[in-house]
Amino acid sequence: MRQSGERPMSGAPTGVDRRGAVTRISSFLAAAAAWLRLSVTRRPTGEHHEAPSSAPTRRLRKIATEEAFTIPEVSAAMLEVVRRGGPALDLKLWTLVYNTTPVEPTVARAPSAAGVDRDALARQFLPRLLDVEHARLAEMDASGVDVHLLSLVSPGVQMLERDTAVSLARLSNDRLSETIRRHPTRFAGLACFAPQDPAAAAKEMERAIQSLKLNGFLVNSHTNGVYLDDQRCWPILEAAEALDAPLYIHPRAPSDGMAAPFRDYRLEGSIWGYGMETGTHAVRLMLSGVLDRFPRLRIVLGHMGEALPFWLWRLDYMASPGSRAALKNSLKPSEYMQRNFSITTSGLEDPLALRYVIEKIGVERVMWAIDYPFQQTEGSVAFIESAPLSETEREQIAHRNAERIFRIAD
């Protein structure tokens, strides 16, 4: 499952010294982390802000459920990928993140103002992804965030050569588990795996749950253009179902087969392409019959469900069971949504959209998220604290649903 246009890594010199890259990234991390700790500001103790009428009446526990991190070894491997180049649309963003002269960030948190230079901001993501236990915790404390559910940043290990991907997935999960053990009340974790080797992926998924005690899995949508409805990927779905652990399908840029219209205007990323690509992945799972083969599979989608809740009426109308010869689904898409899917609010802080998904799929299927470090922590916190919700709804979305779905200790 090699991405079109990618050269095999093994046996081919790349011109990148990975050990040197790891050392440079680690040194940069140490300097940037110190700067970031100074940059995280707290409100003065005596400062008063009038709460909106819909604000919670008591201190709200908050579990953020789509929060990225990375490790130096994965960063070094991704540097090789971006320097090698190729047609993959993911490279538009990750070249800015990895293949840039390291500089100290000019801001500690992602700004929310319209018109911010997001390309410049992308060059500041790497130190925040690498620093899990210092600046991140300070920022969580400053904004009243109790827990980050951590996951390896997109595209995970899914753009790497197979053996490298398998090895680095295992290393990343080990590091994640160690971090959680050091901070058991502040972090939980979703394991990564290498879909390039489905059998190895299934074994790593089992180890992640049974030995490392992680809380589920995250996959960054397609791997080299192959989606999870492909029979080659069924060992991954079988493992997720057998382990009764949720599988978070996180966005990445559209695969080569659907890439052409997304190459202009930066449409490939969070503006449009991420949601369209990942929503398409979820619909493939629904209409392929895969969710009938694995009926207990539990899937999580970010960004208010990647637009699927808003399309459910039309999906049901056009894709009811037996309505087209190519369809293999035995249920309506809305029935799969109610049975197999939960969603998070990551990166979509719209009270009207939140109310719609609550009414459409049920408040018990909605969880709060920030999308750290790509979204502003303070803005995400203000959203969940001020959205027009009942106290019960707010508690469900802010923490109780995550505690139940991801089995995070209260």
Helix, coil or strand: residue 301: strand
Strands ordered across the beta sheet of 147-152: 63-69, 147-152, 187-189
Class of 62-405 in CATH: alpha beta
Per-residue model confidence (pLDDT) at position 114: 61
Q: Where are the domains of the chain?
A: 62-405
Please check the confidence at residue 11 and state whether its pLDDT lies above 60. no
Q: Among 189, 238, 244, 243, which residue's Cα sits nearest to residue 218?
A: 189
- Cβ neighbours of residue 405 closer than 8 Å, sequence gap 6 or more: 246, 298, 300, 342, 367
Please check the confidence at residue 150 and state whether its pLDDT lies above 60. yes
136 is written with which tokens?
């991140």
Q: What is the mean pLDDT of the chain?
A: 88
Per-residue model confidence (pLDDT) at position 385: 98
- Top pLDDT among 312 and 101 is at 312
Per-residue model confidence (pLDDT) at position 14: 43
Per-residue model confidence (pLDDT) at position 72: 98
The one-letter amino acid at 343: I
Per-residue model confidence (pLDDT) at position 81: 97
Counting every residue, how long is the chain? 410
Active site residues: 371
pLDDT grade for 118, boundaries at 50, 70 and 90: confident
Q: How far apart are CA 390 and CA 213, in angstroms?
A: 33
Read off the pLDDT of residues 264-298 as tens digits, 9 standing for 90 and up. 999 999 999 999 999 999 999 999 999 999 999 99
Read off the pLDDT of residues 306-362 as tens digits, 9 standing for 90 and up. 999 999 999 999 999 999 999 999 999 999 999 999 999 999 999 999 999 999 999
Per-residue model confidence (pLDDT) at position 410: 86
